[in-house]
Amino acid sequence: MATETSQGTAPASVEALKRVKATETEWDARLKAAREESEVALRRSREEAEAAVKAAETEAERERTDRVEHARVEAAGLAAAIVAEGQKAAELAARGEGRRPADKKDAILAVVLGSFGKD
């Protein structure tokens, strides 16, 4: 009877081992599939991120170029206005006219001091 008992439990143990092995195989397959899915998702995310960075760099370069050109035009206009104002001020100074009485200082002093020299 002892042999019957050991033979009776042996098939049950083998069946239990087979179930364990089947479960391990199933979970190994699931883990492998999950790893592959995560690698694909990671690869896709990296590609999307790289594309987004390239698009952002392109947009930033375009915007920088636009701003530089706008600043260049604005600076050229400002420089032209400054030059025009300087030329106008130079013409007025050459004629003895200016924006302030201090600009006519030499002419005023000549008139005032000239009257002292005639006495």
State the Cα–Cα distance between residues 57 and 72, nearest whole angstrom.
22
- pTM score, whole prediction: 0.47
| Residue boundaries of the structural domains of the chain | 2-117
Residue 34 has pLDDT above 90, yes or no: yes
Which pLDDT band, with edges at 50, 70 and 90, does 89 fall under? confident
Are 103 and 93 in contact by the 8 Å Cβ rule? The answer is yes
**Segments of 30-100 assigned E as strands:** none
**The tokens of 74 are what?**
């604005």
If you average pLDDT over residues 4-16, what whole number do you get? 69
Are 92 and 98 in contact by the 8 Å Cβ rule? The answer is yes
Residue 4 has pLDDT above 50, yes or no: no
CA distances from 39 to 43, 45, 63 (A): 6, 10, 36
Q: Which DSSP category does 103 fall into?
A: G
Provide the mean pLDDT of the chain.
Answer: 84
Tens digits of residue pLDDT in 35-88: 999 999 999 999 999 999 999 999 999 999 999 999 999 999 999 999 999 888
If you average pLDDT over residues 16-45, what whole number do you get? 96
Residue 98 has pLDDT above 70, yes or no: no
**What's the pLDDT at 69?**
97
State the Cα–Cα distance between residues 23 and 91, nearest whole angstrom.
100
